[in-house]
Amino acid sequence: MNELELLKKKIKYRSAYRGTKEMDLLLTSFVSSIINILTHDELKKLDDFLNCSDEDISNYYLHKAPMGLFNDRKILNLFITFKIT
């Protein structure tokens, strides 16, 4: 398995095991929708995003608070416009 595949596997795992079922569902769906269209550098940024707390991610998604320390506009824009279908 190459580095890119390992990174994708890590991201998929991290998105699926968050601690709350709601965040598991939201982030797994989000990651699945974009993981194959991102560059290696963007995948690293997505990994950084997934290392943020569930509370920060949830509050950002619900428009309750800015994201805080994570500030990659592309990942944040993809996330905020994402809708579970």
Average pLDDT on 72-81 reads 96
Q: Is the pLDDT of residue 85 over 80?
A: no
Q: What is the pLDDT of residue 19?
A: 87
Average pLDDT on 73-82 reads 96
**What is this structure's pTM?**
0.93
Q: What is the residue-wise DSSP string for 29-72?
A: HHHHHHTTTS-HHHHHHHHHHHTS-HHHHHHHHTTSS---S---
Average pLDDT on 16-41 reads 96
Domain spans in the chain, listed from the N-terminal domain onward: 3-81
Reported confidence tier of residue 1, pLDDT bands at 50, 70, 90 = confident
CATH class of 3-81: mainly alpha
